[in-house]
Structures are given as C-alpha cells and as structure tokens.
C-alpha cells in the first residue's frame, strides 16, 4: 500500500493490526504515528479534536478496563492508498470493569459489547473518525438503564448547563474526508433497504431479510428473524417519526472467502415526538448517529437475502439529549 508501513499486507491488516498494537500491546505512544495531530473523532456522546485528546481517552479507558481485548470481526472498506481509504471496522470487545472511571466504581463485571468505527486513513495515519460503542449494552451489563446512566452523567458533569453536549449537526466539526463511499450494488441494496424502512415502508423487511437472519442491535441484543428486525426499526422510527433521515456514507464489497456485504453510516435529526423505543414524546431535538453492517447470501437457489445485520447507535447519548432538553 503506497504511503503505508510495509509490514501491513493490506488495509484490513492495517486497521486490525494498529488496533491490537495500540490497545492490547499497550503501544499507546504509537498514536503519535498512526493518528494525525488534528484528527476529528466524532462519537455520539461528544467530539474529540486532536491526538492528545485521543491519547488521554485511551489511557482512561485502559485504566478502567485493563484487560480489554478488541476482536476485529470485519473491515468493510473503500477508496485507495493514493486518495485515502475509509474503513468501517466492526469490533467485539471483551473487558473486565476493574478500575474506577466513567462507569463508576469498579465492579469486577466481565463485559462484552460491540463497536463500529468508520476511519479515514492516508499516508499511514488516521485523520477522521466516526465511532459508536454500544454504550447501552455496557451500562446495562453494569446494572444501569441507559436513561438512568445519562441522568447520572449529567449530574456528575455539573448539571444541564455544564454537561458535555452530545454530537449534533450544530456542533459537528468538518474533517479532511469528504467522499461518500463507493457504488457497489450491495451497498446500494442496503442503502435502499434503510431508506425504505425510514420512509415507513416496513414491508421491505420481510422482502429483504432472510427468515433465519441473525441480528445484533444496541443494548447487547441478539435476535433472529424479520419480526425482530421490524420491532427494532419500528421502535426507533416511531420515536422520531418526522426526523430527517440521511445516508451519510455507503460501502459495498465482494471479497474472496467472504459473503457480499455492506456498511452504511446514517443519521436521524429531528424531534422526539412519537411513542417508541424512547418512551413518551418530549419534543426534544435529537441527533442519532448510526452505523449498519449487513451480510447477504442465499440458501439453495433462492435470491440472495440479508442474512446477518449489525446495527449500533448510542442509547445513552439519545437519552442525554432528551434529558438535557427537559431541564
């Protein structure tokens, strides 16, 4: 790969390799090399600008979860070394809550949760990132509801007027990456599915999802079948029925020894004005940053359908926006 360290065979090897090197091998100082000095890291809970902030956050996480392991499940990517590449990296993280920190006093609880991260890399460094952890899954395994954790977080940050504001289009920061992905048909198919669902065409779900589909959703939820997909997506859209839906990035890939797959980064921006996954409507303006990975395939001779889906958004960041608006 032109411009990248010769020890990396390809872009997935770079993404998975530096993740292990930074977190598990304790090469935190390599962030000076692998992350650009002015990187923009957007998470639903906040924005971090600059590599020093990333290094500080990394050390704080490792102090709270010292045995954290990050298992790279997939890297769905687009671009080229010359123009820059965007990886949508899916991680299964395992860790023990062994230190005091953001999640409170150490509990000794063993956790498992997913992370989806879109990272732009060029010349051996990441300079733009969108990061979603399954915060709802983390806090529920620690005994909180996402709503209660968000309320406690606001209190610990000094109340509504001084609390850190979650990511919205109003406080987002532009970064160097401006592409919207590629035009592979599998990415187009997933984008069309999500657009239909968000347009209230829920009939798209039994049409596109396989009857035996495997689903991974926020809150450390594993489910199966189109009816489970319907409940998940209906609960989200019903909470924000008039929010503007946007496909912000779209990748499709066909690689040897892998099923056809796609990665979509999407967003909702609008009022919490419906009954759904987030309780009684409040009228709060809410921004939902989401990433969806999907794998397609067929059994026998039927047309390929969606067989595995991994979708994440941060439930705690949504609740924090709702609670801050009520304050």
Tokens of 154: 């606001």
Q: Are 47 and 171 in contact (CB under 8 A)?
A: yes
Is the per-residue pLDDT at 273 higher than 90? yes
Which residues in 146-185 belong to E strands, given as ranges?
Answer: none
Q: In the prediction, which pLDDT does 207 show?
A: 97
Q: What is the pLDDT of residues 232-254, one digit of tens each?
A: 999 999 999 999 999 999 999 99
DSSP 101: B
Instruction: Tell whether the model's pLDDT for residue 302 goes beyond 90.
Output: no
Q: Are strands 35-43 and 125-133 parallel, antiparallel or unpaired?
A: parallel
Q: Is the pLDDT of residue 301 over 90?
A: no
In the block, which residue shows the tokens 């965007």? Answer: 86
Through-space distance between the first and last CA atoms of the chain, rounded to whole angstroms: 51
Of 297, 277, 290, 292, which Cα lies nearest the Cα of 213?
297
Kindly report the CA angle at 147 between 217 and 138, in degrees rounded to 5? 45
Rounded percentage of the chain residues whose pLDDT exceeds 70: 100
d(CA 175, CA 177): 6
> Residues of the chain with pLDDT > 90: what percent?
95
The region of weakest confidence among 113-117, 300-304, 319-323 is 300-304
Helix (H) or strand (E) holding 236: helix 226-239
**Which range is least confidently modeled, 28-32, 89-93, 110-114, 251-255?**
28-32
* Residue 205: alpha-carbon gap to chain centroid: 22
- The yes-or-no verdict on residue 299 having pLDDT over 90 is no
Residue 289 has pLDDT above 90, yes or no: yes
Torsion angles phi and psi, residue 35, rounded to 5: -120, 135
Instruction: Find the mean pLDDT for residues 38-67.
Output: 94
132 and 43 in contact (C-beta within 8 Å)?
Answer: yes
For 80, other C-beta atoms within 10 Å of its C-beta total 11
Question: Strand, helix or coil at 106?
Answer: coil
Bridge partners (DSSP) of residue 308 are: 214, 295
* Rounded Cα distance, 158 and 222, in Å: 35
Output the pLDDT for position 172: 96
Give the pLDDT of residue 1.
84
DSSP annotation string for 14-81: HHHHHHHHHHTS--GGGHHHHEEEEEEEEETTEEEESHHHHHHHHHHHHHHSTT-EEEEEEEEEEEET
pTM over 0.85: yes
Q: What is the per-residue pLDDT across 98-117, written as a single tens digit (0 to 9) for each?
A: 999 999 999 999 999 999 99
Q: Is the pLDDT of residue 327 over 80?
A: no
- Computed over every residue of the chain, the mean pLDDT equals 96
Using CA atoms, how far apart are residues 111 and 188, in angstroms rounded to an integer?
A: 34
Question: Within a 10 A sphere around the Cβ of 15, how many other Cβ atoms?
Answer: 22
Distance CA 9, CA 4 (A): 10
Beta-carbon count within 10 A of 266 CB: 22
Q: Is residue 265 predicted with pLDDT exceeding 90?
A: yes
Q: Which residues contact 156 (CB under 8 A, 6 or more apart)?
A: none
Distance between CA 14 and CA 31 in Å, rounded? 13
Report which secondary-structure segment, H or E, holds 239: helix 226-239
- Of 126, 267, 262, 266, which Cα lies nearest the Cα of 182? 262
């Amino acid at each position: 790969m032109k411009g990248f360290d010769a020890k990396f065979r390809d872009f997935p090897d770079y993404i998975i390799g530096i993740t292990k090197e930074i977190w598990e091998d304790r090469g935190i100082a390599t962030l000076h090399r692998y992350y650009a000095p002015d990187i923009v890291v957007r998470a639903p809970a906040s924005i971090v600008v600059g590599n020093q902030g990333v290094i500080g956050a990394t050390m704080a996480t490792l102090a709270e979860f010292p045995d954290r392991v990050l298992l790279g499940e997939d890297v769905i990517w687009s671009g080229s070394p010359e123009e820059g590449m965007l990886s949508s990296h899916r991680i299964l993280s395992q860790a023990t809550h062994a230190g005091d920190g953001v999640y409170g006093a150490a509990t000794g609880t063993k956790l498992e949760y997913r992370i989806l991260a879109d990272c732009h890399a060029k010349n051996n460094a990441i300079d733009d990132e969108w990061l979603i952890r399954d915060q709802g899954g983390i806090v529920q395994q620690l005994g909180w509801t996402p709503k209660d954790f968000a309320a406690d977080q606001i209190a610990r940050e000094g109340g509504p007027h001084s609390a850190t504001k979650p990511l919205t289009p109003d406080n987002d920061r532009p970064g160097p990456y401006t592409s919207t992905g590629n035009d592979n048909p599998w990415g187009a198919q997933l984008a069309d599915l999500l657009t239909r669902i968000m347009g209230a065409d829920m009939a798209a779900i039994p049409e596109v999802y396989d009857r035996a589909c495997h689903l991974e959703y926020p809150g450390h939820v594993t489910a199966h079948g189109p009816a489970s997909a319907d409940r998940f997506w209906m609960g989200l859209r019903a909470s924000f029925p008039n929010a503007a839906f946007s496909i912000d990035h779209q990748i499709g890939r066909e690689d040897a020894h892998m099923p056809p797959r796609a990665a979509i980064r999407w967003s909702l921006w609008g009022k919490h004005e419906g009954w759904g996954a987030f309780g009684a409507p409040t009228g709060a303006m809410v921004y939902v940053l989401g990433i969806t990975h999907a794998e397609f395939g067929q059994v026998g001779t039927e047309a390929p359908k969606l067989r595995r889906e991994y979708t994440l958004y941060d439930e705690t960041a949504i609740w924090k926006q709702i609670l801050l608006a009520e304050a």
